[in-house]
Amino acid sequence: MSRIAITEAITTLAEAERRFNLHRTENEEFFSDWRTGLPNLSEAERMGLNQLRERYLYQRAESHLLEGTVMLLLASPLLAIAGFYDPPFKVRAEESVQIILDDSEEVLQGRIDVLVLDNQLWIVVLESKKTALSVWSGLPQTLAYLMANPQPERPSFGMMTNGDDILFVKLTQIDNRQYDVSRVFSPFTSNHELYSILQVLKRISRVIDE
């Protein structure tokens, strides 16, 4: 079998949908987790998010930020506040994955920026981009990583960020392979956007255990 990098093989949304036989569902109940059943935040969590945003805006004011800086300033602290660095969760950075395409001689290989899991159950795949790129540019690659979930009978969730914006995606492989995305959250805009993002992350951690 020939081996090819996911970043080279999956460069557009159309390519991801074709290669993985995926389609975006129009059923609003499929991914209602980002807008319903959201947990309340504590005052300490809100204060932590306010400080996080202040630091990000301070560093962002001078120029675009590289992917690694976005991860350090925003993505990693968000996961920490959401509790993903604490038991029972485990965090893996640069996790290697392989996907054997259906009826194909190709093996796709890649590295997930951050993978949060509980034992072998994937909770969140995080894909980070530099601020100069649209957050949507990470969707094809994120869909590919979600397809590598070793437990395809369970839903997979992804989070994409370029720092200024954050987008969530849900993918299932039971019966029909389908996915949907949340609205774009913009922590660059207001503290309340970060509050909503944390609520979604906490909600996803609960959905997985249901």
The pLDDT score that the predictor gives to residue 110 is: 92
Statement: residue 102 has pLDDT above 90: no
Torsion angles phi and psi, residue 200, rounded to 5 = -65, -45
Overall average pLDDT of the 167-196 stretch? 96
Residue 173 has pLDDT above 90, yes or no: yes
pLDDT of residue 106: 81
Type of residue numbered 199: Q
Predicted pLDDT of residue 2: 80
**What's the rounded Cα separation, in Å, for the pair 139 and 167?**
9
Q: Count of CB atoms within 10 A of residue 114's CB?
A: 20
Work out whether strand 23-24 and strand 178-181 pair parallel, antiparallel, or are unpaired: parallel
Average confidence score pLDDT of the chain = 93
- Provide the pLDDT confidence category of residue 104 given band limits of 50, 70 and 90: low
The model's pLDDT over 154-164, given as tens digits with 9 standing for 90+, comes to: 999 999 999 99
The tens digit of pLDDT for each residue in 4-28 reads 899 898 999 999 999 999 999 999 9
| Phi–psi pair at 203, nearest 5 degrees | -65, -45
Tokens 């899991």, residue? 117
Average pLDDT for 38-53: 97
Q: What pLDDT, in 10s, does the model give residues 47-77? A: 999 999 999 999 999 999 999 999 999 999 9
Q: What DSSP state is assigned to residue 135? A: G
Q: Please, are residues 97 and 113 in contact by the beta-carbon 8 Å criterion?
A: no
Cβ neighbors of 60 (< 8 A, separation 6 or more) are: 131, 163, 164, 188
Question: What pLDDT was estimated at residue 3?
Answer: 85
pLDDT of residue 204: 94
Type of residue numbered 88? P
User: Domain boundaries in the chain?
Assistant: 2-209
User: Helix or strand or coil: residue 138?
Assistant: helix
| CATH number of this structure's domain 2-209 | 3.90.1570.30
Of 115-124, 132-141, 162-171, where does mean pLDDT reach its minimum?
115-124
Q: Which two tokens stand for residue 172?
A: 């299932």
Provide mean pLDDT across the span 124-148.
94
Helix, coil or strand: residue 121? strand
Whether 103 shows a pLDDT value over 70: the answer reads no
32 pLDDT above the threshold of 90: yes
One-letter amino acid of 163: G
Compute the residue count for the chain.
210
